[in-house]
Structure 1
Amino acid sequence: MITDDEAGFAEFVAGRQAALSRTAYLLTGDHHLAQDLVQAALLQAAKHWKRIHTSPEAYVRRAMYHQNISWWRRRRILETALVEHDSPSVAPDTDLRLSLDQALGHLTPRQRTVLVLRFYEDLTEAETARALGLSTSTVKSTTRQALARLRTLAPELAQLIGADA
């Protein structure tokens, strides 16, 4: 017999897994690591479902950010520049997408995570700082450094990055 808690968790996973997977891919740059990251975060969420059921998405996303950081600290993984893309409709300009993937792969894990949270997840500097356990000034400087590095690594991305971002 399935309990209400189990049904609620299953409904959350079914409804949010695709969005969580996209964020995990942006964090890791690797489809397989992204799947592992989502599964690890969902496992944590399942263990604490009774406590977090009112706001599970925030809990799972924060778990993904922290798990990803833990993985970087334990081992250094060389990211591949070329990856398969499931949906060409997401990025009609394949060359631009590949340039972005390659440039993101050259950022430090912290820089990549800050950019994903700030510009993909659309979090404020303060929200990003809270999610990562950093100061707001660290988020600001990391964002500035990451964008400068992207401009250097891939000048063709200037239209995405902006001149003054």
Structure 2
Amino acid sequence: MPFISSFILIFLLTGNLSAQTVYLKPEEALRLHFKDSAEVTPDKKILLESQTVDFKKKTGQAPPKTDWIFYVAKSGKNVDGYALIDNEIGKTEPITFMTVFSPKGEVIAVEVLVYRESVGSEVRQKSFLKQFLKKGARDVKPITGATLSSRALVKGVKRGEVLWKIFYGKN
């Protein structure tokens, strides 16, 4: 019996004690950023083989999947913007976030929707997230104590930028 008790104690002390916090549901985040748009519709995109090669060239890695859903916000025939809801692994758990793009593909907002780690949630702070505005994933300074989460968001936003250019950018 002491062996089992010791095993349980060790498991509890070393096991993944992650805490999931939902900050925004996807529909809430979309409404927050596209409140003036007449409609926001999902637009499913699938990476073709040539696009996958382009993605690898621009990011240095293979895409984690081929199917992507962008949300397109419109008022009449005018596109108000785009959004991509994605996940990237922080230390051990996925961070769910949304990258919002202008009609020209500039990053205009990044929102953390769900954070699942027990530490590092500082990546939700406006001072960190505003670094992405208009410059995307370039030159973003990580947060001390949340370095892995910071890097994860940078990686995810960069992936979104590349995907936006592939699917909506002018070649």
State the TM-score, normalized to the length of structure 1: 0.28
Structure richer in strand, relative to its length:
2
Structure richer in helix, relative to its length:
1
Which entry has the higher C-alpha Rg, 1 or 2?
2
